[in-house]
Amino acid sequence: MKQYSEMTTAELTALKDQLSKEYTAHKEKGKKLNMTRGVPSDDQLALCNEILTCLSSDDYKSANGIDCRNYGGLDGIPEMKKIFADLLEISPEEIIVGGNSSLAIMFDNVAVNMTHGVRDGVPWQKQGQVKFLCPSPGYDRHFSICNYFHIDMIPIAMNKDGPDMDMVEKLVSSDPMIKGIWCVPKFSNPTGIVYSDEVVKRFANLKPAAEDFRIYWDNAYAFHDLCLVAGSVPIKIPNIISLCEEAGNPNMPLVFASFSKVSFAGAAVACIASSKSNCEHIKKRLSIQTIGPDKINQLRHVRFFKDAEGVMDHMMRHAIILRPKFKLVVETLSKELDACGIAKWTEPAGGYFISFDALDGCAKRIVALCAEAGVALTPAGATYPNGNDPNDRNIRIAPTCPPLAELGEALEIFCCAVKLASAEKYLSQK
């Protein structure tokens, strides 16, 4: 088969007619398939059902004697702190365990910095127009936080080993109104990129013009290696907290992680990790904000997982469920689109997404065609600040939730839409 770019007008017209018939047939099936967000499937959630019953009526005290039914334990129970610390390879003193959502902790941190400043410095909202650097394509909910607080977003190109650090270093060192950067360092959303050792070291050695600049290190997929099998070693990234300390920037990183895609997405535990000094400052604010987190839920997680090794054993079971889905996406895209020369996509080793690049100017058309045929996708442009993909080409594929059979049906419609939109584009240029 010829690549679309090599076809004549007559060949493209015939192809478009054929694809239009295939597309109409898909629409007539009346499917309702959803791939909008990367949520765990029912099978994944069922792996943790025992967490609902693992506490007995007289099991409510943590290792240090805290009654988890009562107030107190502001920074989390010791056992849960240790599990997070072991997973993230830091000390428990650098961990504060909170509620179920790391996104809520991030939002809260930005909100406090806007109104009260970083470590009680000058509030961001009183300094002028605050800016954040946003590696793109990236996580739409990070961008939504910036939009909510009217923070200007500066897109940063993503390379195969992480953000364009030449651009990051130049901007951070020259503009004191740049107050932060969003990072998903392992299996980035949506590309699946893992930051290289060199990139992480360059982050640690940043020389920001703003004293209140912070790295928002969202380690959302720290435990989500698709390749996990018994005896395997997860992909490692350097410890940003220790590297920043060595570089003389101990308070610069804020690390976030959660069990939202480990246990129950709506009833997990999350944490923020940073320097001991930052943690002490955050605890002072928390003592006003709350009288303690949900320690019963933390205790449930401790009883169920027991330790960090138990978490990783559990994540192997997740990987067994997810591997066939990611394999199906990659195999289907390769079979249907490789010879066409109209798209490229990532093949991540972990995380929750596959990043798909169509021909420039086609992403919105593809998403609209899929919607008409019953396949809901994340809106085109969502992976860029303000929903503005300058090339209108990136689409985030979320294969985790649908059953394998439904995923296959959705991919058939998706590939048909990609080919139809691409044929239309080349015809419009003739």
CA distance 158 to 219: 17
Cα 254 to the center of its chain, rounded Å: 16
Q: Please list the residues that pair with 217 across neighbouring strands.
A: 183, 255
Q: Answer yes or no: is pLDDT of 231 > 90.
A: no
CA distance 51 to 374: 35
**Whole-number mean pLDDT of the chain?**
96
Q: What is the pLDDT of residues 116-155, one digit of tens each?
A: 999 999 999 999 999 999 999 999 999 999 999 999 999 9
DSSP 260-298: TTTS-TTS--EEEE--HHHHHHHHHHHHHH-S---HHHH
> If you search the block for the tokens 């955050």, which residue do you land on?
282
pLDDT at 169: 98
Q: Answer yes or no: is pLDDT of 230 > 80.
A: no
Q: What is the pLDDT of residues 362-381, one digit of tens each?
A: 999 999 999 999 999 999 99
| CATH 3.40.640.10 domain residues, the chain | 57-306
Name the pLDDT band for 290 (thresholds 50, 70, 90). very high
CA distance 40 to 169: 36
* 258 CB neighbour count, 10 Å cutoff: 26
Which CATH class, in words, describes the domain spanning 57-306? alpha beta
pLDDT at 227: 85
Is residue 330 within 8 A of residue 408, CB to CB? The reply is: no
Name the pLDDT band for 304 (thresholds 50, 70, 90). very high
Mean pLDDT of 314-343: 97
* 309 CB neighbour count, 10 Å cutoff: 12
Question: Which two three-digit tokens encode residue 380?
Answer: 């085109």
pTM of the model: 0.96
* CATH T-level topology, domain 4-44+313-428: Aspartate Aminotransferase, domain 1 (3.90.1150)
CA distance 249 to 208: 10
CA distance 227 to 353: 15
pLDDT at 341: 96
Q: Answer yes or no: is pLDDT of 228 > 80.
A: no
Name the pLDDT band for 237 (thresholds 50, 70, 90). very high
Three-state secondary structure call for residue 236: coil
Mean pLDDT of 319-333: 97
103 Cβ neighbours under 8 A, 6+ residues apart: 141
> If you search the block for the tokens 């490229």, which residue do you land on?
344
| CATH 3.90.1150.10 domain residues, the chain | 4-44+313-428
H-only helix segments in 89-164: 102-116, 140-148
Q: Please list the residues that pair with 356 across neighbouring strands.
A: 345, 395
- Outline where DSSP puts E strands in 335-393: 344-345, 354-357, 375-377
Is residue 45 within 8 A of residue 265, CB to CB? The reply is: yes
* Proportion of the chain above pLDDT 90, given as a percent: 96
Instruction: Name the DSSP letter for residue 5.
Output: G
Mean pLDDT of 174-201: 98
Mean pLDDT of 24-49: 94
CA distance 414 to 409: 9
Three-state secondary structure call for residue 424: helix
Instruction: Name the DSSP letter for residue 124.
Output: G
Bridging pattern class, strands 394-397 and 375-377: unpaired
Three-state secondary structure call for residue 352: coil
Q: Answer yes or no: is pLDDT of 1 > 90.
A: no
Mean pLDDT of 324-342: 97
Name the pLDDT band for 430 (thresholds 50, 70, 90). confident
24 Cβ neighbours under 8 A, 6+ residues apart: none
pLDDT at 232: 78
